Structure 1
Amino acid sequence: MSKRVWLITGCSTGFGRELVKVVASKGEIAIGTVRKQEQIAELESINPNLVKGVVLDVQKQDAIDEVAKVIEREFGQLDVLVNNAGYGTLGSIEETSEDEIQRQFDVNVFGCVRMMKLALPFMRKQRSGNILNITSIAGLNGFPGIGIYNGSKFALEGIGEALAAETKHIGIKVTNIEPGPFRTDWAGRSATFNESSIAEYNESANKNMDSIREVSGNQIGDPVRAANAMYEVTILETPPVHLPLGGPAYKRVGIRLQEFKEEVEEFRYLGRPTDYTEEELDKMNG
């Protein structure tokens, strides 16, 4: 089969839906996952010859195993995995329930790892493939009011970096896609808001949650342009491990790098001299 086969999770709306359109427009095959059976027909109407919809909850290993069987039976290959399914839980860390924390990590982290484990046997056999993890600028910088979401995206960032190093020599390329604010449902119906009742968080967690609500629907980021950038990264001979998307993301990355460097240097006097001295090592190893 000469056409590339893509598996894109979270295609009901947003990045996933737009990426399916881009992939089909390029004459490639897009397997898109949705949460409800009734969403399949609408997804496949994008291009019935190139788009296949499947119902999938990334929290359920049995369902993931079934998708793997469909890919093997109908296509025999998998060239690109896009880990797009996910959501944001918002609220102070102290007031986010244990159940919600577990759910956030099960979807945003463990669900993505499950999908990687689906894709990797195909890609190892082919000695080629691309994995795109849709993380977030929130995977590089912690913000008040989204700390648990931050944690899930920080985790996916680290896993993606490690996987890139593990698979580079066998032709599998891994890129963490780090969007800033885009005009998707992330801050709308896709988000879970855990309202704070602790007054001390009014100027931190609650303030940032209010800002996120206010910008929802008016974000500067264009999901169509984002989807095109995601497609383009998969045809690069040497794609980056990190790809921020949008002006606000690049601005935040610049600020974060500068702040990190300044903080490390400021406290070098405290953290650096914690190794054994050369003399001590000579005595210990002698």
Structure 2
Amino acid sequence: MPEKNVWFITGAGRGLGIEIARAALAAGHHVVATGRDPQRVLDAVGAHENLLTVALDITDAAAAQTATDAALERFGRIDVLVNNAGNFVAGFFENISPEQLRAQMETNFFGPLTITRAILPVMRRQRSGQVITVTSMAGLIGQEFVAAYAASKFALEGWMESLRFDVAPFGISTMAVEPGFFRTELLVEGASTIWPELTIDDYAEHTASTIEAWKGMNGTQGGDPQKLGRAIVTLSDSGALPLRFLAGADAMAGEEQNLATIRAQIEANRDLSASLSFDD
């Protein structure tokens, strides 16, 4: 890959996407920063001679191809794809409508697949590239009130872990980024957070208190998105992407505990599990 790479970043109009774009520009790279409103993206990231802002709805295959073509027309190549755009449908499973659940999967799962389909042919022709996808700690560990969101992020994790085998022969590497709680706009109601549509009496009191707790967390998260943006660029520039990057002390602690739980469950049922082969 060239020293000055061309980065293609989705969801660059708010939160972590802004910081990844700024960090890539500061490192001397070219950046295609995308979002539904390219003027908002430009205002958020700031004008730069190496910056191209492009309109993109990641759920629209035609828009994904148009944005890819615009990137190629301006810079001639795409070296790093960052699948960052997404939202958060919160709530207990029964309170989340089927339409909300499908919309969550469409944005958080099928959206990254759509833009990756548009860009992989470019990287295969180059015989080089990186696909970096921002999932979540909730893509590794199930949590209360995040059934739809965790489902979408777990799906991304499985896709990314398998995609690496498909693209490695063409010089393309992959990395999943699993942030813990970072001080972005993810918990801003009406921006990235969507509350459940359905009401069930058994969940009503717990739903109300949980929503208030989530709202109270906004703006107090421990993770610094500027530092995460710079860390992602540092890992990309190293030329040796890890399969996954757990971002934040809380993400590391949560996954370490999760792994310990899994190990304990393996040991607790080791004999039963080992007994399931044919006897011949």
Superposition TM-score tier, normalisation by shorter sequence = over 0.9
Asked if structure 2 preserves the Cα contact closer than 8 Å seen for 1:57 and 1:63, the reply is: yes
Corresponding residue number in structure 1 for 2:254: 252
Asked if structure 2 preserves the Cα contact closer than 8 Å seen for 1:30 and 1:50, the reply is: yes
Corresponding residue number in structure 2 for 1:5: 6
Asked if structure 2 preserves the Cα contact closer than 8 Å seen for 1:145 and 1:204, the reply is: no
Secondary structure, aligned partner of 1:107: helix
Q: State the distance in 2 between where 1:176 and 1:41 align.
A: 26
How far did residue 166 of structure 1 move? 2.0
How far did residue 266 of structure 1 move? 1.3
Cα 1:213–1:264 change in 2 (3 A) is: farther
Asked if structure 1 preserves the Cα contact closer than 8 Å seen for 2:22 and 2:45, the reply is: no
Secondary structure, aligned partner of 1:234: helix
Corresponding residue number in structure 1 for 2:227: 225
> Does residue 86 in structure 1 map to residue 86 in structure 2?
yes
Q: Provide, for residues 180-236 of structure 1, a one-character-per-residue CA deviation record: whole Å limited to 9, x for no partner.
A: 000001111311011664354468766554432221110000000000111011122
Q: State the distance in 1 between where 2:207 and 2:233 align.
A: 35
Q: State the distance in 2 between where 1:258 and 1:202 align.
A: 34
Asked if structure 1 preserves the Cα contact closer than 8 Å seen for 2:12 and 2:41, the reply is: no
Scaled by the length of structure 2, the TM-score of the pair is: 0.92
Corresponding residue number in structure 1 for 2:274: 272
Corresponding residue number in structure 1 for 2:107: 107
Secondary structure, aligned partner of 1:271: helix
Corresponding residue number in structure 2 for 1:28: 29
Q: Could you say which structure has the larger radius of gyration? A: 1
Amino acid at match of 1:31: V
CA RMSD of aligned residues (A): 1.9
Q: Provide, for residues 237-267 of structure 1, a one-character-per-residue CA deviation record: whole Å limited to 9, x for no partner.
A: 3221110111111110111100111112212
Scaled by the length of structure 1, the TM-score of the pair is: 0.90
Amino acid at match of 1:55: A
Matches within 5 A, 1:129-208: 129-188=129-188, 189-194=191-196, 197-201=199-203, 208=210
* Structure 2 unaligned regions, length at least 5: none
Asked if structure 2 preserves the Cα contact closer than 8 Å seen for 1:9 and 1:84, the reply is: yes
Aligned sequence identity (%): 30
Corresponding residue number in structure 2 for 1:282: none
Q: State the distance in 2 between where 1:17 and 1:123 align.
A: 24
Asked if structure 2 preserves the Cα contact closer than 8 Å seen for 1:44 and 1:53, the reply is: no
